[in-house]
Amino acid sequence: MHNILAITRKELHHYFSSPIAYALATMFLFINGFVFLMVVYFQQQADMSVVTMNMGVIFLFLCPLISMRLFSEERRTGTMELLMTAPVTETQAVLGKFLGAVGMLAAMLALTFHLPLFLILFGKPDIGPLWSSYLGLLLLGSGYLALGLLASSLAKNQVVAAVTGFGMILFLWLLSASGDIFSPPVTDILKYLSFFEHFGDFTKGVLDTRHLIFYLSFIGYVLYLSVLSIRNRKWR
């Protein structure tokens, strides 16, 4: 645990000392502010569900850009050699880095807290869906970051890592649409695997354990694959 937190701290240090994080946060906040303005001004609704859905879509692009450097950069610069010859296991390295990326995403999400605050101050929003939306966003984003981390463990080049991560995430997002082509058993499986299907309920204020279990087990599995990928690297 000590090692994991030390690595998480280091990753957060990298994020906050790099211009990429600030550029991403600016883009994220600007677009969210714009969507929020449109929804509230034109629809006159004290409701975050459209904004939340929109954030989920921005995450498709945002998360692979956050996670791309995690392992790629260490391998490109050779610092991986020092990290992996310290008494740190592959699992600790993967978890530490994952938590660092989640911390970065959580920081960006926290910067949008003023939006629901406006709703509470000037309207009467339903509080439940606000909470569940943010929980859903954090889980969705963490799932994306796990995939992005896996991509980063496979590619030495950050751009390749970002593109690979983005491809995997988009594919999982789109699975729900493609599901209708097939007959019921296949459709059900594909829909269950889709990130999109599990996200909708959170924006409506529904906390379903099935969705929680889906995201958590998905994250666990992808992180496990990342550990294997890091271990496998040694043999090349």
Contact residues for another protein (CB under 8 A)? Answer: 2-3, 6-7, 9-10, 13-14, 17-18, 77-79, 81-89, 234-236
Residue 121 in tokens: 């101050």
d(CA 124, CA 84): 52
Q: Which is nearer to another protein, 7 or 219 (CB)?
A: 7
d(CA 133, CA 149): 24
Query: What's the min distance (Å) between Cβ of 76 and another protein?
Result: 10
Which residue has tokens 């999982």? 172
Query: What's the min distance (Å) between Cβ of 8 and another protein?
Result: 11
Q: Which is nearer to another protein, 16 or 30 (CB)?
A: 16
Q: Which is nearer to another protein, 93 or 169 (CB)?
A: 93
Q: Which is nearer to another protein, 25 or 29 (CB)?
A: 25
| Helical residues (DSSP H) of the chain, grouped into ranges | 2-16, 19-43, 49-67, 69-77, 79-85, 90-110, 114-122, 127-154, 158-178, 184-193, 195-203, 209-233
Query: What's the min distance (Å) between Cβ of 54 and another protein?
Result: 32
Q: Which is nearer to another protein, 23 or 38 (CB)?
A: 23
d(CA 105, CA 74): 20
The dihedral over CA atoms of 59, 140, 142, 25, expressed in degrees to the nearest 10, equals 30
Q: Which is nearer to another protein, 9 or 114 (CB)?
A: 9
Query: What's the min distance (Å) between Cβ of 145 and another protein?
Result: 20
d(CA 124, CA 57): 26
User: 182 φ, ψ to 5°?
Assistant: -95, 170
Query: What's the min distance (Å) between Cβ of 25 and another protein?
Result: 17
User: 183 φ, ψ to 5°?
Assistant: -80, 165
Query: What's the min distance (Å) between Cβ of 230 and another protein?
Result: 12
